[in-house]
Amino acid sequence: MIDSHCHLENQDYDKDREGLIENCRKEMDAIITCCANPKNLDLSLQLVEKYRGFVFLTAGLHPIHIEEFSEEEKENYFAKLEENKEKMVGIGECGLDYHWIKNEKLREKQKQFFLDHIKLAKRLKLPLVIHSRKAEKECLEILKEQNAKNVLLHFFSNQKLREEVATTNYYVSLNTAILRSKGVRQILKTLGTGRIMTETDAPWMGFGERNTPLAVKKVIEKTAQLEKKTSEEIDRTTTNNAIKFFNL
């Protein structure tokens, strides 16, 4: 099992991070943690070093933090990512968030920062991890315009665009939302498992409780039920997809 997207650096894990990771090692093949804010990069890099070969890192600037950072601060962060590119397996999460960001000027700033992430990923030859809440169509348009190739649509749930996604080579990661969301299930039905990965977005998506990477087991079991396959088959396919996509 591989959790292709979670946030081990989050303060919710401060009290038991090491113990949690050790428990995950007993059952999982890998965890890909996502650093979405420059303030968490040092801790994220430390986790990769300490748990080499088990914890892997993607890093970017989450679009909801857009107002907090200037162009200079973003460039300084990108420079640090370049310095540590050998310790990373992807750029992101990055993209657009129109759920929390309503201001038009900030949305334009989001788009520019998104373009900068795409350029960085191309320069470093790393895949992209995309956040696209309430802005899925715009994100897809930008990715296509920029000819982005290696793309993971993290927590993609817009079923109206599932046919459009099916025409691309993009991957989609499913998390515990599949336990409740008809939209996510429709996306699985349209795409099949060939371009699907499992994730948790932990510590979020625990439905009132703190989530952990171990919840990928629930995602796999539900996916197997929907696809009328065994959990072992789904685990093997999604694990291989993550290994291939992130070049683990």
Per-residue model confidence as pLDDT tens digits over 136-179: 999 999 999 999 999 999 999 999 999 999 999 999 999 999 99
Residue 60 pLDDT: 98
Tell me the fold of 2-246.
TIM Barrel (3.20.20)
Residue 99 pLDDT: 97
- In this structure, what token pair is assigned to residue 237? 């396919």
Q: Which residues of the chain have pLDDT under 50?
A: none
Residue 148 pLDDT: 97
Q: How far is CA 239 from the centre of its chain?
A: 15
CB count within 10 Å of CB 90 equals 26
Residue 3 pLDDT: 98
Residue 48 pLDDT: 98
Backbone angles phi, psi at 5, to 5 degrees: -165, 110
Per-residue model confidence as pLDDT tens digits over 30-56: 999 999 999 999 999 999 999 999 999
Tell me which residue of 183, 233, 206, 242 sits closest to 13, measured CA to CA.
206
